[in-house]
Amino acid sequence: MTRISDSRRLQFLDQMMKSQLSRRGLLLGGAATAGALAMPRFLGAGEARAAETIRFCSWGGSIQKLQREYVLQPFTEASGIEVVEDSLPLSSRIKAMVDNDALEFDVVQTDLLTLLSLEQMGEYFEPIDYSAIAPQALKGIPEAVRLPKAVGYLYWSYNIAYRTDKFDAAPKDWAEVWDTEKFPGGRTLTSADDGQYPNLEFALLADGVAKEDLYPIDVDRAFSALDRIKSDVVKWWSSGSEVVQLFTSGEAAVGSAYSGRILTAKSEGAPVDLAWNQGQASLDYLMIVKGAPKDRAMKLIDALLAVEPSVEVFNRYNAGPANQDVLAGLKEGRAAELPSYPENLEKMYVQDSQWWADNLDDIIERFHEWTFA
């Protein structure tokens, strides 16, 4: 059994601390904002300046740094429109902003589940004006991800992740992840806390359901499959930094994780790897929050989707561009590492976000009850 050196472990701890701190900092910021929302809007400064600004909310960390360098700053130089950045577009924040008519950001990069759960409660997003996107950028984006209120931007995924130093062979599907004799060691799967939702699909795949037949999810069957692995799950994880820490600290030997996080840890020398087979692909879309200035928002979306800058971003960031031309333009060997590479994508299924939007509350509630059973 090889051990990760202390310096490397500390490096991971450090990374996790940073991301946790920013998350908590943001929650505190959110509380301050809630206070500000209650105040009358006598501050005119924001509106006077609004003529030449657009606000963009992404996920912080390396993705936003790359977007800033390759997209946002060049966009400001070319158009004169200043981009005000924000991070972590939680659905609760979008709901609070729109309900109180006090937007904190205009353009947002997030998943379909956020859009669908919010639109069940009312109108929270503006339609996308596809005529405002350059045709050369649009042509590589599949029709299937050009939705009325969201345009497909990048693929991220949940995959089988494992410690390469603990097993002779790699687990190739979820049935093997459930096989604790062949692959002994701690397990980790997603929790129902902190914005996360349980990996019911993986439980069904482990139980022998084909990936084409996952939806609508047979919830009872999924939970009884989870019953079988429950006592081996050392921790139900919620954040990407946390799951990397579980693997690098040796708590978990195999389980589910975000592909991007595992790829980054692997490239930094951690003994971890992933299997694309039976992974769950999800898409982040670009959307415009209800009430945002549509013209400027579309200009920013157009800039974010442009092929050349996107190639720079995805050469460095471990997520798959939804745009086929961006994928084709990446440096040699790069595309095959990413979830949107056709061969990888074929091995996965795409989350049915509508099913989750319809059932999320019940599943979260049931998961919490189930943990006590």
Partner 1 sequence: MGALATARSARPAETSSLWLALPAILALGLFFFAPLANLVTISFSGETAFSAYERFFASPAATRILVNTVLVALAVSASCTLMALAFALAIRTLTPFWARLALLSVTLPLWISILVRSYSWLYVLAQEGIVNRSLLALGLTDQPFQLLFNWGAVGLGIGHILLPYALLPIHNAVEALDPLLLRAARSLGAGPARIFFTLILPLTARGILTGAALVFVLALGFYVTPQMLGSARNTMLAVYVDVLVNTMLDWPRAAAASLVLVVTVAAGIALLAFAAGRTVARLRP
- Give 129's contacts (C-beta < 8 A, 6+ positions apart): 294, 298
Query: Can you tell me which of 32, 38, 45, 210 binds partner 1, judged by CB under 8 A?
Result: 38
29 touching partner 1, by CB under 8 A: no
CA distances from 361 to 112, 193, 355, 356, 365 (A): 16, 12, 11, 9, 6
219 touching partner 1, by CB under 8 A: no
Q: Which of 99/213 has CB closer to partner 1?
A: 99
22 touching partner 1, by CB under 8 A: no
Q: What does DSSP assign to residue 145?
A: G
* Residues across the chain: 373
271 touching partner 1, by CB under 8 A: no
197 touching partner 1, by CB under 8 A: yes
Q: Which of 90/132 has CB closer to partner 1?
A: 90
Stretch of 15-23, 209-217, 271-279, 327-335 contacting partner 1, by CB under 8 A: 15-23
Residue 93, class by beta-carbon neighbours within 10 Å (0-12 exposed, 13-18 middle, 19+ buried)? buried
Q: What does DSSP assign to residue 367?
A: H
Q: Which of residues 137-176 bind partner 1 (CB under 8 A)?
A: none
- What is the enclosing helix (H) or strand (E) of 372? helix 353-372
Q: Which of 20/62 has CB closer to partner 1?
A: 20
245 touching partner 1, by CB under 8 A: yes
Specify whether the CB–CB gap between 159 and 262 falls below 8 A.
Answer: yes
119 touching partner 1, by CB under 8 A: no
251 touching partner 1, by CB under 8 A: yes
Stretch of 63-71, 229-237, 280-288, 299-307 contacting partner 1, by CB under 8 A: 229-237
Specify whether the CB–CB gap between 173 and 205 falls below 8 A.
Answer: yes
Q: Which of 78/121 has CB closer to partner 1?
A: 121
- What is the enclosing helix (H) or strand (E) of 301? helix 294-305
Report helix, strand or coil for 114: helix
Contact residues for partner 1, defined by CB under 8 A: 3-4, 9, 13, 16-17, 20-21, 24, 35, 38, 90-92, 95, 117-118, 121, 186, 191-197, 233-236, 238, 242, 245, 249-251, 360-361, 364-365, 367-369, 371-372
